[in-house]
Amino acid sequence: MGERPLLDYQALVTDARVHGSLYADPQVLEDEFERIFTRGWVFVGHESEIPEPGDWVTRRLGREPVIMVRDRDGRVQVLANRCAHRGTALCWEQRGHNSSFQCGYHAWTFGLDGSLRAVPYPAGFDRDKEDLALDRPGQVESYRGFVFADPDGGAGPLADHLGQGGAGLLDRLCDLSPTGSIDLSRGWIGHRVDSNWKMWPESDNDGYHLNWVHASMVSAAPDTYYQEVVLGGESGNQSRAVDWGGGHFELDFRPSYRHELAWLGASREKVPGYCESLEAAHGSERATQLLWEGPPHGFVFPNLFLGEMNVAIIEPVSTNEMVHWHTCVQLEGVDEAFNRRLLRQSEAALGPAAFIVPDDAVTAERMQLAFGGARADWAPAGRAWIDMSRGLAREQVLEGTRRAGLVSDETTNRAFWHHYRRVMTSGGAPSSRGR
């Protein structure tokens, strides 16, 4: 570690520019795995994915494979997917159900809480089983069913990480359910892209690119609601690009919706059951507000995209490769036809065969091609910088560090990068466990 030249992230991310080496230099990813994905809060999964004790899913926290499992007491556990004996992965599929985890190598058996339960031929084994539980993150917390982990355990409370901005985004999604709970158990679709992971917090929340990258979608499906919320150009479009602080940000479409359920491309007549459930649960006034406002289109740092009625995980694989995992939000307490409508909308928007995201993917791959071997020492020479200044001068400063711009401004992109700079220069949250 000590021999590595330190990268000067303060110099590589300015208020208005970002250096291309941050997408291309393998050392950057090593630093990110350490400072962002090991010393900070990272989204893991949703409680609804594992409803019953023994249900599990596998994920990656930065470079560490983990199992998210519901234990016998109904608690959500996040465990290293690595036998405490010789390190074999315990689970290799995306989801499953077990009453315990048994390693295939020497049959060590672990409980759903990660404790070591049994070792074959115990006479030759004199260690304390309590010292050989599965590794686990220092902290695991959830908010409205969204489970986050802080691997090193020194990042402070989840509430501080989310702040009002991040929590507000999750609230606005979950509040659309009559029960206040959403269901993310329909499985995740992975979209593999030959790009750095950071193109995705950018592109998923960029209000400036749609008329060009998505021109074919606009032309083939001209009745999309994106027409009124983000495509119409700057004049007359009331949507905003909002920096909520803490690396959380949003394309806020609410001011542009011209009728209830515009975000669903529907009206009350099309989905009467849903509207009745929402009114029964929340009262008429609140239901009307929810039907107008719809779900957020935003990002929770560092890896969670809330794409209206879709949820996506940004997973770095290598400097030049990432996976964009998504699933469709299903609401509890609504009729089946409504949830099926959401599934069909999700298939149109996200995934490798959808009408929208594949064009972002090829654009991200072209960016990655163009950055090629960009190195940090190109920066002083003025090479391979990207410009993110759009709207900087006309940004509205809200309370605290919050900012809002026109939906076509790069306020959301700066929100990501300015928080990134803070995290990467502070070395992440202080480690409590020592390394």
Nearer to another protein, 279 or 321 (CB): 321
Q: Are strands 182-183 and 146-150 parallel, antiparallel or unpaired?
A: unpaired
b/e sequence 284-300, b meaning 16+ C-beta within 10 Å: eeebbebbebbbbbbbb
Question: Shortest Cβ distance from residue 8 to another protein (Å)?
Answer: 30
Q: Mark the segment that binds another protein (CB under 8 A) among 57-65, 141-149, 282-290, 341-349.
A: 341-349
Does position 424 interact with another protein (CB under 8 A)? The reply is: no
DSSP letter assigned to residue 13: B
Does position 366 interact with another protein (CB under 8 A)? The reply is: yes
Nearer to another protein, 89 or 221 (CB): 221
Question: Shortest Cβ distance from residue 366 to another protein (Å)?
Answer: 5
Q: Mark the segment that binds another protein (CB under 8 A) among 152-160, 184-192, 253-261, 275-283.
A: 184-192
Q: Mark the segment that binds another protein (CB under 8 A) among 24-32, 122-130, 187-195, 419-427.
A: 187-195
Does position 318 interact with another protein (CB under 8 A)? The reply is: no
Place of tokens 């249900």: 55
Tell me which amino acid residue 261 is.
L
Query: Which one among 65, 168, 333, 358 touches another protein, defined by CB under 8 A?
Result: 358
Task: Give the span between the Cα atoms of 131 and 418, in whole angstroms.
Answer: 41
Does position 348 interact with another protein (CB under 8 A)? The reply is: yes
Query: Which one among 85, 186, 282, 375 touches another protein, defined by CB under 8 A?
Result: 186
Task: Give the span between the Cα atoms of 213 and 363, in whole angstroms.
Answer: 8
Nearer to another protein, 367 or 424 (CB): 367
Query: Hey, which residues does 43 pair with through a beta bridge?
Result: 148
Q: What x-and-dash track marks residues 209-228 binding another protein by CB under 8 A?
A: ----x-xxx-xxx-------
Query: Which one among 12, 140, 189, 290 touches another protein, defined by CB under 8 A?
Result: 189
Nearer to another protein, 127 or 344 (CB): 344
Query: Of 76, 82, 304, which is closest to residue 188 (Cα–Cα)?
Result: 304
Chain centroid, CA 123 distance in Å: 47
* Residues of span 76-105 touching another protein by CB under 8 A: 94
Query: Of 64, 61, 56, which is closest to residue 112 (Cα–Cα)?
Result: 56
Nearer to another protein, 75 or 340 (CB): 340
Q: Are strands 189-193 and 240-245 parallel, antiparallel or unpaired?
A: unpaired
Task: Give the span between the Cα atoms of 73 and 209, in whole angstroms.
Answer: 48
Tell me which amino acid residue 411 is.
T
Q: Mark the segment that binds another protein (CB under 8 A) among 19-27, 55-63, 139-147, 191-199.
A: 191-199
Query: Hey, which residues does 306 pair with through a beta bridge?
Result: 298, 311
Query: Which one among 323, 331, 404, 423 touches another protein, defined by CB under 8 A?
Result: 323
Does position 45 interact with another protein (CB under 8 A)? The reply is: no
Does position 355 interact with another protein (CB under 8 A)? The reply is: yes
Does position 187 interact with another protein (CB under 8 A)? The reply is: yes
Structure tokens at 263: 């975000």
- Answer for the pair 55, 70: CB distance below 8 angstroms, yes or no: yes
Tell me which amino acid residue 74 is.
G
Tell me which amino acid residue 4 is.
R
Task: Give the span between the Cα atoms of 108 and 117, in whole angstroms.
Answer: 8
Does position 361 interact with another protein (CB under 8 A)? The reply is: yes
Question: Shortest Cβ distance from residue 169 to another protein (Å)?
Answer: 22
Helix or strand holding residue 289 (H, E): helix 284-293
Residue ranges that bind another protein, judged by CB under 8 A: 94, 186-187, 189-194, 213, 215-217, 219-221, 323, 325, 327-328, 340, 343-344, 346-348, 351-353, 355, 358-359, 361-363, 365-366, 369
